[in-house]
Amino acid sequence: MDIQRVGVVGCGLMGSGIAEVAAKGGFEVVVREVDDNLLEVGRKRIRKSMDKAVEKEKLTARDRDAAWGRLSFTTAVEDLAGCDIVIEAIVESLDAKSELFGALDRLCGAGTIFASNTSSLPVTDMAAATSRPDRFVGLHFFNPVPVMKLVEVVRTIATSAATFDRAFSFAKALGKVPIAAKDNSGFVVNLLLVPYMLDAIRQLERGVASIEDIDTGMTLGCGYPMGPLTLCDFVGIDTLYRISEIMHEEYHEERYAPPPLLKRVVALGRYGRKTGKGFYDWSGDKPVPLPI
Ligand code: CAA
Ligand code: NAD
Q: Give the H or E element holding residue 180.
A: strand 177-182
Mean pLDDT of the chain: 98
**pLDDT value for 17:** 98
Q: Does ligand 1 lie within 6 Å of residue 156's CB atom? A: no
Interhelix angle for 61-69 vs 13-24, to 10°? 110
Cβ of residue 226 lying under 6 Å from some atom of ligand 1:
yes
pLDDT digits (tens, 9 = 90+) for 116-125: 999 999 999 9
pTM: 0.97
- How many angstroms does the Cα of residue 24 sit away from the middle of ligand 2? 21
How remote is the CA of residue 20 from the centroid of ligand 1, in Å?
A: 15
- Amino acid symbol at 284: G
| DSSP run (H or E) holding 122 | none
Ligand 1 atom with minimal separation from the 144 CA: 7
* pLDDT value for 4: 98
With vertex at residue 236, the alpha carbon angle to CA 232 and CA 237, rounded to the nearest 5 degrees, is 70
How far is 98 from 165, CA to CA, in rounded Å? Answer: 24
pLDDT, residue 138, reads: 98
Q: How far apart are CA 150 and CA 228, in angstroms?
A: 19
Question: Closest Cα to residue 15, out of 44, 42, 55?
Answer: 42
